[in-house]
Amino acid sequence: MTKYFLYARKSTDVEDKQVRSIDDQLAVLHELAKDENLNIAQEFIEKQSAKKPGRPVFNEMLARIEKGEARGIVCWKLDRLARNPVDGGQISWMLQRGI
């Protein structure tokens, strides 16, 4: 069965602009995983802006996907994953390679 990682992120620099808390994101993601019968290997939670590359939790998650520990990421919105071209490029490159 294909394994997935859950990823929830909330930036610390624009608290008032973010609609969903991490707990809210996780609740939605767990419900989606249940409805779609997805096998969740682990949750990754990060409290950091994604405007610049170098988020440690995000980088660990991608490294573990590269190792084959999961085949995909379930997140609330795509902007939770990447808001800079470096991180977005990493995800695009992984998709192109079928990882």
pLDDT digits (tens, 9 = 90+) for 52-83: 999 999 999 999 999 999 999 999 988 889 99
Q: What is the value of pTM for the model shown?
A: 0.88
The pLDDT of residue 79? 86
pLDDT above 70 covers what percent of the chain?
A: 92
How far apart (Å, rounded) are the C-alpha atoms in residues 71 and 25? 20
Q: Around 96, how many Cα atoms within 13 Å sit in the side-chain half-sphere?
A: 6
Q: Does residue 13 surpass a pLDDT of 70?
A: no
> If pLDDT is split at 50, 70 and 90, which confidence band does 91 have?
very high
